[in-house]
Amino acid sequence: MSMFSAEELERYARHLVLPEVGGAGQQKLKRAKILVIGAGGLGAPVIEYLAAAGVGTLGIVDDDAVSLSNLQRQIIHRTGDIGRPKVDSASDMVRALNPHVAVNRFAERLTPDNAMALIGGHDLVIDGSDNFATRYLASDASFLAAKPLVTGSVGRFDGAVTTLAPHLTGPDGMPNPTYRCLFPKAPAPGAVPACAEAGILGVVTGVVGTIMALEAVKMIAGIGESLVGRLLLIDALSMRFDTMGYRRDPANPLNGDGPRYADLSHLID
């Protein structure tokens, strides 16, 4: 554990005594570079818990500014941050919580032009975006860059989380499924109302985002069983957690039997 200062040894003491994590796992977290797409409802608890866990470098992608209506659920921002870029207020929170964590701020949207460079520079990606276009872009780019991806979504009182590693093979020797195996096509525009229209119980984003952070920590530390090939469904009103299994679709255009997407050109209008 020579990589850690005396202050770090005390800070991470509750991790270090866990046999499943220990010094080796904490070193993996310290060396890790994780890209978080979105510093909003899902990204907020993700960023906070990964910073607390000691992830060495966090990249934060968000082109939005803090607004008053964000504060009901986006807990890393404060009333005094209204009008500031979310990447700036998120970075300030990380610095205040854990000065051992480096933050790279990307005050931009994820696009087909920048996705490969942004994702390629990190070990793992977490997608907390609020639209299907970004979800498909993040998942396709993560596959092409051979990076694992944790993706989640929320709406009203419900949430869902899964982990994607389609660049790797599963226990059956077949490639793991992609996001397109789970959702071959995006819903028609307007079919799924945005949170601004349908509403969202703020605490639900905390529950889902914390689970996303947990998946990332497990993947980096190499412990436990991930949500690869499983979709976790959360119904907060009835407090039910269900898991749905899914498999690789041989017709999917990424790692199917006849892959068609070798780059992101299919996402460029």
Q: What is the pLDDT of residue 1?
A: 45
Find the distance separating the first CA and the last CA of the chain, reported in whole Å: 50
- Residue 84 in this model has a pLDDT that exceeds 70: yes
Rounded to 10°, the helix 22-31/202-221 angle is: 110
Spans of all domains in the chain = 10-267
What integer is the mean pLDDT of 111-136? 96
What integer is the mean pLDDT of 161-173? 94
**10-267 fold:** Rossmann fold (3.40.50)
What is the band of 172 on the pLDDT scale with cuts at 50, 70, 90?
Answer: confident
3 state SS of 217: helix
Q: What is the pLDDT of residue 189?
A: 73
What integer is the mean pLDDT of 6-19? 97
Q: Tell me the backbone φ, ψ of residue 59, rounded to 5 degrees.
A: -100, 130
Alpha carbon distance 129, 64 (integer Å): 12
Determine which of 132-141, 193-202, 252-261 has the lowest per-residue pLDDT on average. 193-202
- CA-closest candidate to residue 164, choices 212, 131, 132: 212
Q: Tell me the backbone φ, ψ of residue 25, rounded to 5 degrees.
A: -65, -40
- DSSP states of 227-260: -BTEEEEEETTTTEEEEEE----TT-TTTSSS--
What integer is the mean pLDDT of 155-166? 96
What is the band of 191 on the pLDDT scale with cuts at 50, 70, 90?
Answer: low
Residue in this structure with the two tokens 């931009």, named with its chain if needed: 108
Q: What is the pTM of this model?
A: 0.95
